[in-house]
């Protein structure tokens, strides 16, 4: 984790990277004015030479500035100050981390004299540090031959001139960042390291010290409960399946009805007998991204002691094609008693989720249930990597998720869904069982959601969040490098804060 510190002023004799802020028209903040004076006008000269005007989101670097001990000064453009919000400062923090991760051990960001922002200076400073911390995450466990200049060096951020309220907000955001980092870690690890049993143990070591209650069901427990759908997916693997439940109750009352989160945790997906093409199959280590998001959410909520009761359930299997693997055409009976004709063993995530959803509803009786899954390639075709798709049976729940997503930039987009028996739903009717696990080529993400909806109890507000495009991205962005994004953790942290905490 990146250390976040607060001081009234910076020791000018300390070598580091200094960040100061510039508005439209090259309007210098008080901190920037101080640097301008100390350097004998270097900021103004550099801005003119580079054509830098303080445009929102732009950075200008000045190396070895005279008059300062700093190794470099970064000018961060905030554009129109009255529109400079928390997201802008997060993105600036992330961009600074990306630029300096292998160059400097500390960033000093001077918020002195920044006025008339869209948010308070305390919010701006805390979110700058949050963005820097989110972007500064790397997994270097297996990189044994890094050159010195490739190794990460950035360890801390020092915030100057930030109001005292910034520390409390920053502390809270650090707990959320820890959840995002844990999700990224689980999703990035290879399939020979993270599999159902090891996923459980890694989560247990992290969440139990935070006060989270852990329940684990093994394959015998699942068989006794009739989880034929989930067990069918895992029967071709030497790694036995697990159902992991993590419960956090910060309400002080055992009678509080919990928010239920369910995550798809296919720790590696070959497609089974319906084998995927070889090129790109290595990416299927992140097919447990839904379970990773749920685990990260639990770390964030428990870490910040959220005053809510939330249960996170992860269905953990490995989908492999051995001699005992499930065959296309097999029929399985789910925990709910409904039967499924398995037309394609690569449409396996819904077969895992449905039993987990049934168990969750029977065990916890939630009024609201959300599931997270890297469920379909079709959602990537529809939304690329910029939004997750949301399918829900409740307009109000969609509105809450949409608002939370926009607030933290975990963006979601609503997709169509029929009632059970409706036109989309009929596409998964089977001629030999209650349903089939695959619809036609068209509308693949929709028919997957229709399948899951058949396992939602009456009266439960439910949303299926297909994160296949959002959980892993081929290009970096201000708050993450290419690879795992930790999508969903900040979304649900905000959702819980807005609607489930007193």
Which residues are catalytically annotated?
A: 276, 350
Q: Contact, 286 vs 187, CB < 8 A?
A: yes
Helical segments of 58-195, H only: 86-100, 121-135, 165-188
Q: Which helix (H) or strand (E) is 264 found in, with range? A: strand 259-269
Local structure of residue 88 (DSSP, 8 states): H
Cα 317 to Cα 193, 218, 243, 357, 402, distances in angstroms: 14, 11, 9, 15, 30
Please give the biggest Cα pair distance in the chain.
Answer: 82
- Identify the burial level of 206 via C-beta atoms within 10 angstroms of its C-beta, where 0-12 means exposed, 13-18 middle and 19 or more buried: buried
Instruction: Please name the residue that has the structure tokens 């100050």.
Output: 81
Q: Contact, 314 vs 265, CB < 8 A?
A: yes
| Token pair listed for 246 | 């993590």
Q: Contact, 486 vs 181, CB < 8 A?
A: yes
| Token pair listed for 101 | 């991760």
What sign does the dihedral 100-101-107-113 (CA atoms) show?
positive
- The three-class DSSP label of residue 84 is coil
Q: CB within 8 A of 447, min separation 6: which ones?
A: 424, 427, 428, 438, 439, 440
Closest C-alpha to 208, from 126, 298, 339 = 298
């Amino acid at each position: 984790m990146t250390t976040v510190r607060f001081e009234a002023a910076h020791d000018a004799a300390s070598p580091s990277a200094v960040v100061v802020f510039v508005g439209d028209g090259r309007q210098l903040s008080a901190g920037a004015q101080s640097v301008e004076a100390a350097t004998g006008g270097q900021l103004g000269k550099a801005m003119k030479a580079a054509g830098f005007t303080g445009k929102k989101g732009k950075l200008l670097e000045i190396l070895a500035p005279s008059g300062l001990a700093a190794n470099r000064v970064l000018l961060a453009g905030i554009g129109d100050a009255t529109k400079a919000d928390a997201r802008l400062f997060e993105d600036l923090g992330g961009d600074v981390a990306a630029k300096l991760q292998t160059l400097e051990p500390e960033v000093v960001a001077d918020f002195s004299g920044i006025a008339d922002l869209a948010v308070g200076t305390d919010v701006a400073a805390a979110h700058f540090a949050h963005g820097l911390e989110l972007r500064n995450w790397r997994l270097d466990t297996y990189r044994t031959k890094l050159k010195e200049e490739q190794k990460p060096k950035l360890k801390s951020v020092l915030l100057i001139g930030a109001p005292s309220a910034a520390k409390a907000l920053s502390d809270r955001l650090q707990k959320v960042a820890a959840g995002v980092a844990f999700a990224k870690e689980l999703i990035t690890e290879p399939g020979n390291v993270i599999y159902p049993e090891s996923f459980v143990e890694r989560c247990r070591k992290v969440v139990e010290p935070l006060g989270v209650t852990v329940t684990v069901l093994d394959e015998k427990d699942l068989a006794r409960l009739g989880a034929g759908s989930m067990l069918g997916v895992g029967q071709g693997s030497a790694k036995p399946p697990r159902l992991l439940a993590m419960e956090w109750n910060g309400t002080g009352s055992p009678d509080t009805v919990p928010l239920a989160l369910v995550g798809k945790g296919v720790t590696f997906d070959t497609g089974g007998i319906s084998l995927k093409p070889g090129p790109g199959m290595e990416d299927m280590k992140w097919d447990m991204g839904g379970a990773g998001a749920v685990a990260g959410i639990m770390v964030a909520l428990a870490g910040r002691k959220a005053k809510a009761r939330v249960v996170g359930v992860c269905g953990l299997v490995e989908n492999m094609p051995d001699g005992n693997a499930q065959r296309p055409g097999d029929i399985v009976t789910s925990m709910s008693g409904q039967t499924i004709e398995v037309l394609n063993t690569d449409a396996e995530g819904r077969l895992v989720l449905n039993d987990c959803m049934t168990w969750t509803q029977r065990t916890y009786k939630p009024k609201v249930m959300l599931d997270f899954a890297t469920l379909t390639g079709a959602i990537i075709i529809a939304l690329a990597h910029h939004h997750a798709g949301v399918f829900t049976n409740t307009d109000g729940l969609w509105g809450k998720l949409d608002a939370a997503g926009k607030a933290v930039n975990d963006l979601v987009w609503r997709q169509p869904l029929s009632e059970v028996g409706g036109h989309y739903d009929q596409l998964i009717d089977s001629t030999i069982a209650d349903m089939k696990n695959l619809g036609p080529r068209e509308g693949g993400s929709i028919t997957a959601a229709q399948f899951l909806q058949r396992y939602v109890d009456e009266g439960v507000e439910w949303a299926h969040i297909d994160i296949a495009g959002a959980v892993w991205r081929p290009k970096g962005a201000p708050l993450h490098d290419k690879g795992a994004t930790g999508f969903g953790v900040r979304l649900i942290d905000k959702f819980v804060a807005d609607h489930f905490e007193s």
